Amino acid sequence: MEEREFTQEMKPPAHTKSPARWLKDNLFNTWYNVLLSCLVLVVLFFVFKVLLTWAFTEAKWGVIPANLQLFGVGSYPREQIWRVWSVIYIFCVLVGLSAGIWGALTLRFALVLGGIWFIGALSPFELSTRGWFLGAVATTVVSLLLGRGRTNLRPWILGGWLLSFPLIMIVLRGFGENGVLTSNWGGLLLTLILAVVGIVVSFPLGVFLALCRQSDLPAIRWISTAYIEAVRGVPLITILFMGNILVPIFMPGLDINQVLRMMLGITFFSAAYMAENVRGGLQGIPRGQHEAAQAVGLNYVQTMLFIVLPQALRSVIPAIVGQFIALFKDTSLVAIIGLIDLLGVARSVIANPDWFGLQAEVYLFAAIIYFIFSYSMSYGSQEIETALGVGEH
Amino acid sequence: MENNSPKVVSGKIPFWRDIRVLRILFQVIFLLGVILLLVILYTNMLKGLRGLGLTLNLDFLQDEAGFDISEGIPYEPSDVYLKAFWVGILNTLKVSVIGIVCATLLGLFFGIARLSSNWLIRTIATAYVECFRNIPLLLQILFWYTAVVGQLPRVRESIALFGGVFINNRGIYLPSPEPTSGLGIWLGFLGVGLLLAVVLYVVRWRKLQQLDRPGFRAKWALPAFLIVALCGWFLTPGRPFTLDLPVLQGFNFKGGMRFSPEFSALLIALSVYTGAFIAEIVRSGIQSVVKGQREAAKAVGLNESQTLRLIVLPQSIPIIVPPLTSQYLNLTKNSSLAVAIGFPDLVSVGNTMMTQTGQSIPVFAMIMTSYLVMSLTTSAAMNWYNRWINRVGR
């Protein structure tokens, strides 16, 4: 009896520290940290003062709302804007269903997405736009509720994600003259399309190239090594220039539009880097795994698909996501070639005499959008790593 | 009763199941496919070139270029294309080398700052890394070029720093060292100092080996060399170098060194962007050395600098070098984005050559070869360094 009372008296040490204590531990723990902190605080004060004064008094932010549609979809025709919304709705349905079924990270993603649509619906846009936003909120929520607990739907949802890719392209493009020419795709929409196509296509291509490079058939190994090293040796911009100038020479008669050429350039470029990342993972798999798979009677394709690749890819998730982020940022290079992606829109807005001298505002806005996407990708990758327990084995 | 024992395969394996035959067959088919693709591309190219009325040769390189290049080694529009291309290569190398130095310094600083015990320093370093890593480099280059360097004051209102540095919208002007006749004497001093340093280094090394103790081998050599160099500097009649200060004359500055706005913007963007990546590499390299190693070093009685030099760095440098190499290569390749702001680098000059002559295929081949040579030399050098670092088996 007495013993229990004794244990009850023992309380765990408090996790929270008082602010003063925290300051002392983290800013003023030694004499040189005191000095450093004071110095940095003074510098920070002046930097923030200058920046905030600029942002709140001098900067003319009016340029952003005035061109918001341009930033979003470029010169996508207004009467066809329902195509973009349809794509967003398809995406919302898939995200909602996935969130309902898998929960965890996907659920958080869906909630953030729904939140963004909700903010859009409350913002002072035109009534029709706000309606579309409200619809997106509803779609996300309804599909989330529909998907709850239906774990038997998992393979269907995965298939849905795969199918959504061509479907989205068709919806955006439409058919023939009634559709929207790819030359009218622009803004963030074009950036995202280029990035998604690049990621979706270059990933399997990279895995394939990595397997080729690890192959014990010399001809295949040499050719893929030569390809990977040649592509990694040159800057992306030369490859994009080549796609622009050389494709018409090497493939006369084949009329490929510029967006597709840029997609090809980005994809073939990124695949080489992806291959090197995957190869890193493949090399980390011990020989015993291959031998065990062979001993059980699996053939090459089965060994790779069921034994080696799942382990190899899991161990290089950070590198692969890093490559995805690099690819996403690299899509901005198409602005040099003349496509009007997010950065291209920023450049054309600045070139507009109505918005003369607003480089800082416009580029900052574009930078924030790029940052949000890149940073959420790297955040997601960290979450996936923890979820899969990478590095704990 | 049926006999269930497996049938013994008699005779030879049919060739379509023989792995040796299949391997060769598979490779032959693959090679044939690649060759077929190349042949198609080649015939297409010939057809396409004929359509454009061009022939494939390098004679055009000896023609007069006729376009001006705003910076780099002395060059006239009347020079040949080959010379123009060479100017481009040197400009790429210039911005890359200076950029690599700046990015490494930035990366080292912020990488170490991310491990600081001071929350403020740590947070600022993290913010730097996350901000600049996640924004496209091209956007950063354009931002620095149009929103920062482009907004600098005019020549008359230049910002003056330390009396010799002038910053305005035509570039950054720095004092440049000009060698005088006394340079030879000073170089002689340097030679003597170097000799002395080598001797002292060897002596100190021997002594440390005798004592069987860890220590800084260049502890005597380094100060000795510096003292001799410094003495030489002041003893040389008229100093080995004089400073050529930029002076405002008429509408522009004369003398000194000038970094053009394009060069400055590109350099800042490349250094800051790559520095963020290098900071992460440095941080993870240092963190990869397990805590026990530091504690063990402390227990053995090594002090802070000895722990860093003898325990932490030898283990983290081999981890840092390979990714660092690829960052250096990335910076070199990324310098090609100069084309967006008109800095006359390799790609930019190559582009002008292509539009003027129409010879896109040879020019592309030249650009790609140049980059490949740079990449391969850098990776060869870094591989050699890596082997040298790893020479002690780990």
The CATH number for A237's domain is 1.10.3720.10
Residue with tokens 């003292």: B227
Q: Which residue of A has its CA nearest to B369?
A: A234
The token pair that represents B249 in the structure block: 């004359």
The token pair that represents A145 in the structure block: 């509720």
Q: Say if residue A143 is in the same domain as residue A223.
A: no
From the CA of A250, how many Å to the nearest CA of chain B?
Answer: 5
Bridging pattern class, strands B165-168 and B159-161: antiparallel
Q: Which of A183, A125, A190 is nearest to A342 (CA)?
A: A190
DSSP assignment, residue A153?
A: G
Interval A205-258: pLDDT, tens:
999 999 998 888 888 899 998 899 889 888 999 999 888 888 877 776 666 788
Q: pLDDT band at residue B393, thresholds of 50, 70 and 90?
A: very low
The token pair that represents B65 in the structure block: 């270029």
A283 touches chain B (CB under 8 A): no
pLDDT, position B36? 92
Is A91 or A4 the better-scoring residue by pLDDT?
Answer: A91
Of B117, B124, B147, the CB nearest to A40: B124
pLDDT, position B299? 92
Of B41, B336, B371, the CB nearest to A250: B41
Q: Is the pLDDT of residue B7 over 60?
A: no
What's the domain range around A331? 212-393
Q: Say if residue A224 is in the same domain as residue A293.
A: yes
- Between CA A51 and CA B218 the distance in angstroms is 46
Beta-ladder partners of B249: B252
Residue with tokens 């590109």: B266
pLDDT, position B131? 92
Q: Say if residue A175 is in the same domain as residue A93.
A: yes
Partners of A26 on chain B (C-beta within 8 Å) are 117-120
Whole-number Cα distances in Å, B31 to A222, B26, B35:
11, 9, 6
Q: Which of B100, B61, B108, B103 is nearest to B84 (CA)?
A: B61
A54 close to A170: Cβ distance less than 8 angstroms: no
Helical ranges in B176-235 per DSSP H: 183-211, 221-235
Whether residues B364 and A246 touch (CB distance < 8 A) is answered with: yes
The token pair that represents B309 in the structure block: 């030099």
DSSP assignment, residue B394?
A: -
Task: Indicate the average pLDDT of chain B.
Answer: 83
Residue B18 has, within 13 A of its CA and on its CB side, a CA count of 9
Beta-ladder partners of B244: B176
A89 close to A139: Cβ distance less than 8 angstroms: yes
Q: 3-class SS at A336?
A: helix
pLDDT, position A4? 53
Whether residues A374 and B133 touch (CB distance < 8 A) is answered with: yes
Contact map slice: B 8-47 vs A, CB within 8 A: 23, 26-28, 30-31, 34, 41, 44-45, 47
Is B225 or B254 the better-scoring residue by pLDDT?
Answer: B225
Of B27, B339, B368, the CB nearest to A234: B368
Is B239 or A169 the better-scoring residue by pLDDT?
Answer: A169
Whether residues B27 and A219 touch (CB distance < 8 A) is answered with: yes
Q: pLDDT band at residue B382, thresholds of 50, 70 and 90?
A: confident
pLDDT, position A327? 94
Mean pLDDT, residues A61-86 taken together: 84
Q: Say if residue A107 is in the same domain as residue A237.
A: no
- Between CA B98 and CA B104 the distance in angstroms is 10
pLDDT, position A6? 53
Partners of A375 on chain B (C-beta within 8 Å) are 130, 134
From the CA of A373, how many Å to the nearest CA of chain B?
Answer: 8
pLDDT, position B225? 86
- Between CA B260 and CA B145 the distance in angstroms is 11
* CB neighbour burial string for A336-370, b if at least 16 within 10 angstroms, e if fewer: bbebbbbbbbbbbbbeeeebeebbbbbbbbbbebb
The token pair that represents A292 in the structure block: 């065990």
Mean pLDDT, residues A345-360 taken together: 87
Q: Is the pLDDT of residue B183 over 70?
A: yes
List all residues 6 or more positions away from A307 whose beta carbon is below 8 Å from its beta carbon: A289, A290, A292, A293, A298
- Between CA A279 and CA B306 the distance in angstroms is 37
Is A25 or B11 the better-scoring residue by pLDDT?
Answer: A25
Q: Which residue of B has its CA nearest to A251?
A: B44
B84 close to B344: Cβ distance less than 8 angstroms: no
Q: pLDDT band at residue B89, thresholds of 50, 70 and 90?
A: very high
B119 touches chain A (CB under 8 A): yes
B32 close to B26: Cβ distance less than 8 angstroms: no
- Between CA A319 and CA A20 the distance in angstroms is 40
Concatenated DSSP letters of A120-141: HHHSS--HHHHHHHHHHHHHHH
Residue A137 belongs to a domain: yes
Interval B341-353: pLDDT, tens:
988 989 999 988 8
Residue A15 has, within 13 A of its CA and on its CB side, a CA count of 0
Mean pLDDT, residues A322-338 taken together: 92
B333 touches chain A (CB under 8 A): yes
Mean pLDDT, residues A260-272 taken together: 92
Concatenated DSSP letters of B247-284: EEETTEEESSEEE-HHHHHHHHHHHHHHHHHHHHHHHH
- Between CA B173 and CA B161 the distance in angstroms is 10
pLDDT, position B22? 84
Q: pLDDT band at residue B6, thresholds of 50, 70 and 90?
A: low
Of B45, B143, B147, the CB nearest to A249: B45
Whether residues B367 and A238 touch (CB distance < 8 A) is answered with: yes
- Between CA A340 and CA B340 the distance in angstroms is 14
Beta carbons within 10 angstroms of residue B318's beta carbon? 16
User: Can you state the percent helix, strand and coil of chain A, rounding each to 5?
Assistant: 80, 0, 20
From the CA of A371, how many Å to the nearest CA of chain B?
Answer: 5
Partners of B47 on chain A (C-beta within 8 Å) are 252
pLDDT, position A393? 45
Is B356 or B142 the better-scoring residue by pLDDT?
Answer: B142
List all residues 6 or more positions away from A19 whose beta carbon is below 8 Å from its beta carbon: none
Q: Which residue of A has its CA nearest to B373?
A: A233
Q: Is the pLDDT of residue B137 over 70?
A: yes
The token pair that represents A216 in the structure block: 């014990």
A245 touches chain B (CB under 8 A): yes
Q: Say if residue A256 is in the same domain as residue A337.
A: yes
Whole-number Cα distances in Å, B297 to A168, B115, B119, B306:
59, 19, 26, 9
Percent of chain A with pLDDT over 90: 25
Whether residues B134 and A378 touch (CB distance < 8 A) is answered with: yes
Partners of A219 on chain B (C-beta within 8 Å) are 27-28, 30-31
Residue with tokens 């003495």: B231
- Between CA A120 and CA A123 the distance in angstroms is 5
Q: Say if residue A108 is in the same domain as residue A242.
A: no
User: Can you state the percent helix, strand and coil of chain B, rounding each to 5?
Assistant: 70, 10, 25
B54 touches chain A (CB under 8 A): no
B253 close to B173: Cβ distance less than 8 angstroms: yes
Whether residues A370 and B134 touch (CB distance < 8 A) is answered with: yes
Q: Say if residue A241 is in the same domain as residue A152.
A: no
The token pair that represents A310 in the structure block: 């799942």
pLDDT, position A85? 87
Q: pLDDT band at residue B90, thresholds of 50, 70 and 90?
A: very high
B338 close to B72: Cβ distance less than 8 angstroms: no
φ, ψ of residue A5 in degrees (nearest 5):
-60, -40
Number of independent structural domains in chain A: 2
pLDDT, position B3? 52
Largest Cα separation within chain A, whole Å, is 93
List all residues 6 or more positions away from B162 whose beta carbon is below 8 Å from its beta carbon: none
- Between CA A76 and CA A222 the distance in angstroms is 45
Given A138, A164, A180, the domain boundary residue is A180
DSSP assignment, residue B392?
A: S
Give the DSSP H or E segment for B288.
Answer: none
Q: Say if residue A379 is in the same domain as residue A242.
A: yes
Interval A151-169: pLDDT, tens:
787 888 888 888 888 888 8
- Between CA B114 and CA B287 the distance in angstroms is 11
Q: Which of B113, B126, B100 is nearest to B332 (CA)?
A: B100
Mean pLDDT, residues B129-134 taken together: 92
Residue A233 belongs to a domain: yes
Question: What is the set of domains in chain B, with CATH numbers?
Answer: 81-175+245-389 (1.10.3720.10)
Q: Say if residue A250 is in the same domain as residue A385.
A: yes
Interval A229-240: pLDDT, tens:
889 888 999 999
Q: Say if residue A174 is in the same domain as residue A248.
A: no
Whether residues B30 and A219 touch (CB distance < 8 A) is answered with: yes
Given phi > 0 = left and psi -120 to 50 = alpha, else beta, which region is B161? Answer: beta
Mean pLDDT, residues A262-272 taken together: 93
φ, ψ of residue B71 in degrees (nearest 5):
-150, 170
Residue A117 belongs to a domain: yes
pLDDT, position B394? 44
Sign of CA dihedral A108, A113, A117, A123: positive
Q: pLDDT band at residue B11, thresholds of 50, 70 and 90?
A: low
Interval B274-309: pLDDT, tens:
999 999 999 988 888 888 888 898 899 888 778 888
Interval A181-192: pLDDT, tens:
778 888 899 999
Of A220, A236, A249, the CB nearest to B48: A249
- Between CA A164 and CA A150 the distance in angstroms is 20
Interval A96-110: pLDDT, tens:
888 888 777 788 888
Is B121 or B159 the better-scoring residue by pLDDT?
Answer: B121
Contact map slice: A 321-360 vs B, CB within 8 A: 325, 329-330, 332-333, 335-336, 343, 346-347, 350, 359-360
Mean pLDDT, residues A36-50 taken together: 90
Partners of A33 on chain B (C-beta within 8 Å) are 117-118
DSSP assignment, residue A12?
A: P
Concatenated DSSP letters of B3-57: --SPPPPPSPPPGGG-HHHHHHHHHHHHHHHHHHHHHHHHHHHHHHHHHHT----
By the 10 Å C-beta count (0-12 exposed, 13-18 middle, 19+ buried), A120 is classed as middle
Give the DSSP H or E segment for B342.
Answer: none
Whether residues B143 and A41 touch (CB distance < 8 A) is answered with: no
Q: pLDDT band at residue A15, thresholds of 50, 70 and 90?
A: low
Q: Say if residue A286 is in the same domain as residue A146.
A: no
pLDDT, position A271? 95
A101 close to A157: Cβ distance less than 8 angstroms: yes
Q: Of the given ranges (A88-97, A370-379, B18-27, B148-157), which has the lowest mean pLDDT?
A: B148-157
Residue A40 belongs to a domain: no
Mean pLDDT, residues B368-384 taken together: 85
Q: Of the given ranges (A2-11, A78-87, B30-39), which has the lowest mean pLDDT?
A: A2-11
B256 close to B246: Cβ distance less than 8 angstroms: yes
Residue A61 belongs to a domain: no
Contact map slice: B 147-176 vs A, CB within 8 A: 147, 150-151
Q: pLDDT band at residue A1, thresholds of 50, 70 and 90?
A: very low
Interval B243-264: pLDDT, tens:
777 777 767 777 777 788 899 9
pLDDT, position B1? 44
Of B26, B138, B151, the CB nearest to A333: B138
Task: Indicate the average pLDDT of chain A.
Answer: 85
Q: Say if residue A358 is in the same domain as residue A282.
A: yes
Most confident option among A384-393, B274-283, B374-383: B274-283
Q: pLDDT band at residue B375, thresholds of 50, 70 and 90?
A: confident
Chain A / chain B CB contacts < 8 angstroms: 152
B173 close to B165: Cβ distance less than 8 angstroms: yes
Partners of A283 on chain B (C-beta within 8 Å) are none
The token pair that represents B74 in the structure block: 């002395």
